[in-house]
Amino acid sequence: RRCSYLRDQPATAYEQRLARSEPTAGFAVVLDRSTNLMWQGCSAGQTGAACTGSASLKSWLQALQYCEVQDWAGFVDWRLPNIKELRSLADNRLSNPALDPTAFPGASPTKHWSSTSLTASATSAWYVNFLQGRLDDNVKTSTFAVRCVRTP
């Protein structure tokens, strides 16, 4: 279940795709020019331009609620990404984590929740494991990291 979207793309295409900025000091955002999505520059629990600290782990319901109430970088319309959106961040050329280190400094290789429930079981949801960019599912009471998204 590896993301193959970027497998054949040259490195420069991916690097130009993501633009990190800090519209509010200490609250970085990343604009994905390919999907036109804006991502929190840090996972929940991390702070500052370099995203220091450890990602805080939340259940699926806590992750949904966390994103709904965020006021990050002056924006209040954050949400938990669906699995397709979250998977689009995985860079298969990288591992541990499989995320662009310039766009997402301090990114941990942990599992991150998506908002997408498993069709076969309402008690499970999809997540991306950014150790290698793989996706899988788990029960919603498990605790994983969170990175919110918005449509600018």
Residues in CB range of 45: below 8 A, 6 or more apart:
53, 54, 55, 56, 145
Percentage of the residues of the chain whose pLDDT score is greater than 90: 86
Name beta bridge partners: 29: 21, 40
pTM (2 d.p.): 0.88
Quick check: 30 pLDDT over 80?
yes
Looking at residue 66, its amino acid is: Y
pLDDT for the residue 108: 83
The helix (H) or strand (E) run that includes residue 83 is: helix 83-87
Burial label for 7, CB within 10 Å (0-12, 13-18, 19+), is exposed
Instruction: Specify the pLDDT at position 6.
Output: 44
pLDDT for the residue 5:
43
Indicate whether 10 pLDDT > 90. no
What is residue 7's predicted lDDT score, i.e. its pLDDT? 43
Average pLDDT, the chain: 91
Listed in sequence order, the residues at least 6 apart from 126 whose beta carbon sits closer than 8 Å to its beta carbon are 83, 114, 116, 117, 118, 135, 136, 137
Q: Which of 149, 45, 25, 48 minimizes the C-alpha distance to 105?
A: 48
SS3 label, residue 16: helix
| Of 6 and 73, more confident | 73
CA quadruple 139, 142, 145, 150: dihedral sign: positive
Neighbour count for residue 152 (Cβ, 10 Å): 9
